């Protein structure tokens, strides 16, 4: 059954008309909005994707990438992962695979009811999870000094790295050396745990 105009039999259709401009619109132009009576906020698909997720301990591996492709500036918080009683084999297999292939896993996690991207890397005998910043959280920085017009000649103004870092002192980590902070952190954690285990045995 259809509703029709009694006079000429024409179909009666409901028009989707905008109350603001008065124009008839289609469903493809619809978006969702929240209105509290005083304010109206348009909600996008990105807003719904960012809503709190259900609590879950699962890690969804999205892809594996070479470890040197991870820019440290994107890293945020770090967490050590412990295998559960149900997943020791999977934990060891993943750790060995990442270590043997020098790869880092890009994963999706639920942390404090928020879905986030993170990386999974090997740290000694453990797996470490490091959350990632979003691209829009990284600021573009431009210091005046890097745009200096100072000229560097092709001769006589290069650093002699062999003189600055002699081979017989490379293990002493001079003040000018760049230190891998993550590796230093891992060694520190392992050292503390070893000391605690030694105290328990001797106590």
Q: Where are the domains of the chain?
A: 60-136
Q: Where are the alpha helices (DSSP H) in 61-149?
A: 88-101
Q: What is the pLDDT along the chain (203 residues), one digit of tens a residue?
A: 677 778 888 877 777 788 778 888 877 777 888 887 788 888 887 776 666 555 556 778 889 999 888 888 889 889 998 887 777 888 899 899 999 999 999 998 887 767 788 999 999 889 999 998 877 777 777 777 777 776 666 655 555 566 656 665 445 545 555 556 666 666 766 666 666 666 666 66
CA distance 174 to 128: 28
Q: What is the pLDDT of residue 146?
A: 73
Please check whether residue 119 is in contact with residue 105, taking contact to mean a CB–CB distance below 8 angstroms: yes
Q: Which CATH number fits domain 60-136: 3.40.50.1110, 3.40.50.720, 2.40.290.10, 3.40.50.300?
A: 2.40.290.10
Judging by beta carbons within 10 Å of its beta carbon (0-12, 13-18, 19+), is residue 174 exposed, middle or buried? Answer: exposed
Spatial neighbors of 124 by CB under 8 A, at least 6 apart, are: 186, 190
Strand 40-43 relative to strand 75-81: parallel, antiparallel, unpaired? unpaired
CA distance 60 to 106: 9
pTM of the model: 0.48
Q: What is the pLDDT of residue 30?
A: 79
């Amino acid at each position: 059954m259809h509703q029709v105009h009694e006079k000429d039999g024409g179909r009666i259709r409901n028009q989707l008309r905008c109350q603001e401009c008065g124009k008839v619109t289609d469903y493809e132009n619809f978006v969702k909005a929240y209105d509290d009576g005083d304010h109206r906020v348009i909600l996008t698909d990105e807003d719904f994707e960012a809503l709190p997720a259900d609590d879950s301990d699962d890690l969804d591996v999205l892809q594996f990438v070479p470890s040197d492709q991870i820019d440290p500036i994107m890293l945020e918080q770090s967490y050590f992962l412990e295998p559960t009683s149900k997943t020791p084999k999977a934990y060891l297999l993943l750790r060995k695979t990442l270590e043997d292939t020098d790869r880092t896993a890009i994963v999706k996690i639920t942390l404090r009811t928020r879905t986030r991207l993170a990386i999974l890397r090997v740290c000694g005998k453990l797996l470490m999870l490091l959350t990632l910043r979003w691209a829009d959280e990284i600021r573009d920085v431009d210091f005046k000094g890097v745009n200096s017009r100072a000229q560097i000649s092709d001769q006589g103004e290069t650093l002699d790295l062999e003189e600055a870092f002699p081979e017989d002192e490379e293990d002493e980590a001079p003040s000018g050396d760049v230190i891998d902070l993550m590796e230093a952190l891992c060694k520190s954690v392992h050292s503390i745990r070893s000391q605690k285990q030694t105290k328990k045995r001797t106590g």
